[in-house]
């Protein structure tokens, strides 16, 4: 329900507020950087102020304009509270070569393994067509001997092993307690992965870069919820705005822990997943790795920062 409610609100707002006639398109690459300006990413993992977020294969965008091989887009599956005072898709620039129109393509499958491999036939020796991050949504037509037949955006057929996926409909219908378990299972697959500002994809050591494969703090949260069939805001501040406030005593696994400045408590600077039993999972910052630590240790490390709690799973 979250996914359709959030997406519906974004699309209504976008259609009402746009002065042009945006084109609906989908991402055709395993990963596509969203940039603040039409400039490519740096070759190293140092902080890049132009890096906004990342799009996964199949994600829908609205294209507002194109220029010199770049497209100015709105990522409708990554909500943000915009300067217009409403929920809209995350804005930015992407390389135009990573987009295509696909009006009838509707996902019904989510990748729940850290990396899901789509092959040209239902066998582990099949040619690799696509390597998909956890949280990628796909279109499955049927299954054969534990393999699922995928219809790609360009009409080709591919096959992915069922152990790497789950039905979106089943995910969205499952009890909240089960969804909490799925979210944490997803998060623990990232442990030890590098941090990357603006990152929102599972780390793939074999992938060429840029684009860089990794997550930042809110990208980790966003991806793990997406793997469980839910669309939530992209950035930590918007995740805070969307979450219902709770106390530490009320916090359950997969709820959110926010850090902010003591002087500016509404200015969220970090988000973590509550893992239960007084522990959190986080992507801590530049130079760090995704880790699971005691919440009390994090509170001591945070020093003068304010700690608050929220839930998106009521």
Q: What is the mean pLDDT of the chain?
A: 91
| Residue position matching structure tokens 């991806």 | 223
The DSSP code sequence of 31-65 is EEEEESSS-PPPSS-S--TTEEEEEETT-EEEEEE
- Determine which helix (DSSP H) or strand (DSSP E) holds 165, and give its type and residue range: strand 165-167
Q: Name the 3-class secondary structure at 194.
A: strand
More confident of the two residues 209 and 203: 203
Q: Is the pLDDT of residue 61 over 90?
A: yes
- Determine which helix (DSSP H) or strand (DSSP E) holds 5, and give its type and residue range: helix 2-17
- Determine which helix (DSSP H) or strand (DSSP E) holds 245, and give its type and residue range: strand 244-246
Domain boundaries, the chain: 2-100, 109-169, 171-311
pLDDT tens digits, 27-38: 999 999 999 999
pLDDT at residue 20, as a whole number: 65
Alpha carbon distances (Å) from 41 to 96, 208, 209, 212, 306: 15, 13, 9, 9, 33
pLDDT tens digits, 154-199: 999 999 999 999 999 999 999 999 999 999 999 999 999 999 999 9
CATH of 171-311 given 3.10.450.40, 3.10.20.740, 3.30.413.10, 3.90.1720.10: 3.90.1720.10
- Which fold does the domain 109-169 belong to in CATH? SH3 type barrels. (2.30.30)
More confident of the two residues 4 and 306: 306
| Residue position matching structure tokens 């829908």 | 60
Sign of the alpha-carbon torsion through 118, 218, 55, 108? positive
Q: What is the mean pLDDT of residues 84-99?
A: 96
């Amino acid at each position: 329900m979250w996914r359709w409610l959030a997406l519906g609100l974004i699309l209504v707002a976008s259609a009402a507020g746009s002065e042009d006639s945006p084109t609906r398109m989908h991402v055709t690459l395993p990963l596509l950087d969203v940039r603040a300006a039409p400039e490519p990413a740096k070759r190293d993992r140092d902080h890049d102020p132009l890096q906004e977020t990342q799009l996964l294969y199949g994600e829908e965008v609205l294209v507002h304009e194109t220029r010199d091989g770049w497209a100015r887009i709105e990522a409708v599956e990554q909500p943000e509270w915009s300067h217009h005072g409403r929920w809209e898709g995350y804005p930015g620039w992407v390389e135009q070569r990573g987009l295509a129109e696909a009006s009838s393509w509707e996902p019904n499958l989510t990748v729940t393994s850290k990396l899901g491999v789509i092959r040209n036939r239902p066998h582990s020796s099949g040619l690799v067509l696509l390597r998909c991050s956890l949280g990628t949504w796909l279109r499955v037509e049927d299954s054969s001997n534990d393999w699922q037949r995928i219809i790609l955006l360009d009409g080709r057929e591919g096959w992915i092993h069922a152990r790497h996926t789950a039905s979106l409909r089943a995910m969205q219908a499952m009890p909240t307690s089960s969804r909490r378990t799925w979210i944490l299972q997803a998060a623990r697959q990232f442990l030890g992965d590098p941090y990357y500002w603006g990152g929102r994809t599972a780390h793939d050591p074999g992938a060429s870069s840029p684009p860089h494969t990794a997550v930042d703090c809110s990208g980790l949260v966003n991806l793990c919820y997406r793997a469980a069939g839910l669309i939530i805001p992209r950035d930590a501040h918007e995740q805070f705005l969307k979450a219902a406030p709770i106390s530490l005593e009320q916090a359950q696994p997969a709820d959110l822990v926010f850090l902010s400045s003591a002087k500016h408590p509404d200015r969220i600077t970090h988000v973590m997943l509550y893992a239960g039993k007084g522990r959190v999972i986080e992507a801590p910052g530049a130079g760090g790795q995704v880790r699971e630590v005691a919440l009390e240790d994090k509170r001591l490390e945070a020093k003068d920062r304010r700690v608050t709690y929220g839930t998106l799973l009521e």
